[in-house]
Amino acid sequence: MKKLLQVLLPPFVGFAVYFLMVRYSSFYFSLRIDEMGQGNLLAFMAFYRYLLPLLFTVSVLTQLLIVIPVYRKVMKKGGAGKKWAAVFLVFVCLLFAAGISYAIWDKNDGIHHLLKLFTFMTGIQLGYWAINLFILRLLGWKSVEIKKIEDPKQPNATNL
């Protein structure tokens, strides 16, 4: 059950946060499927609204096949290994954000628009991974049992 939660819960919480942000924005009911690909915030929101089941499926598969095995290996490492893993994660997010931003960028809008897209995509990815890793960390904590030390001089049910 714990493994199933590690696979399903982090993507679900991350997507729920973004769904609530998109759903309760003032633009939600005016989003149309033909707005996707325009390279602005409304296009991203339309993409998210209409392709949410596909995106969630991809995130669960990513969680199962990549994130969980890597997370387990990183948790076994010391502090320096964890720091390098965090730096690598940020680098991967920057790399993917650059690729996605460049793919949806219209050259007529100028470099400033590309930088805004890059910053936005980086923020979305880092926010998702922060939520994901936080939930994994919460699921990984072991419950600590507090043992009650009995005083041998005090009578209890076992030594009556």
pLDDT digits (tens, 9 = 90+) for 49-96: 788 889 899 999 999 999 999 998 998 888 899 999 999 999 999 999
pLDDT digits (tens, 9 = 90+) for 107-117: 888 899 899 98
One-letter amino acid of 138: L
Q: Residue 41: CB partners within 8 Å, gap ≥ 6?
A: 120
Cα 31 to chain center, whole Å?
A: 24
Rounded Cα gap, residues 18 and 20, in angstroms: 5
Q: How confident is the model at residue 45 (pLDDT cuts 50, 70, 90)?
A: confident
Domain around 119: 2-139
- Sign of the dihedral defined by the CA atoms of residues 101, 103, 105, 108, in that order: positive
Number of domains in the chain: 1
Q: What is the pTM of this model?
A: 0.73
Domain annotation covers residue 79: yes
Domain annotation covers residue 156: no
Q: How confident is the model at residue 144 (pLDDT cuts 50, 70, 90)?
A: very low
Rounded Cα gap, residues 100 and 118, in angstroms: 8
Domain annotation covers residue 152: no
What pLDDT is stored for residue 10 in this prediction? 92
Q: List the one residue out of 47, 40, 44 whose CA is nearest residue 106.
A: 40
